[in-house]
Amino acid sequence: METSFYTGLIVEESLDDSRVLNDFKILKVEITKEKNPADRWHMYTIEVSKKEIERISKEIKPKLWYANFWKDNELLVVFKNKIFTLDRYDTKTRKEAIEYGLAQGIPRKQLDFKGD
């Protein structure tokens, strides 16, 4: 049984079915402050196993979205059906994941892959 957990950040609006969040340990919830409620993002900090991260990769909407998870020196960047494993503290390892995100239509400024 896997006992190693990752902490991660996922936006509710990025999911095909946000009810999947009910299956994870939620550590924190933040809501962005846009005036129009329809423009707000609901950002969840969650704790998940590697197997659950694979499940999340199937639930993320194609194009425009990703999630990221971290543990120790490892950073996982999760797109629809694709996961990049990066060094959390070495930004030089991020080029391929950034290029992939750009190809998915994600603005460069959003490809900052938070890991803390």
Residue recorded with tokens 């969840």: 44
Confidence of residue 116 (pLDDT cuts 50, 70, 90): low
pLDDT of residue 5: 96
Residues 12-53: pLDDT tens digits? 999 999 999 999 999 999 999 999 999 999 999 999 999 999
Average pLDDT over residues 96-110: 95
> Are the CB atoms for 1 and 14 separated by under 8 Å?
no
pLDDT at 88: 92
SS (H, E, C) 38-93: HHCCEEEEEEECHHHHHHHHHHECCCCCCEEEEECCEEEEEECCEEEEEECCCHHH
- Tokens linked to 58: 């199937």
As a whole number of angstroms, the distance between CA 65 and CA 13 comes to 9
| Confidence bin at 3 (pLDDT 50/70/90) | low
Average pLDDT over residues 74-98: 94
Per-residue pLDDT band for 112 (boundaries 50, 70, 90) equals: confident
- What is the reported pLDDT for 115? 64
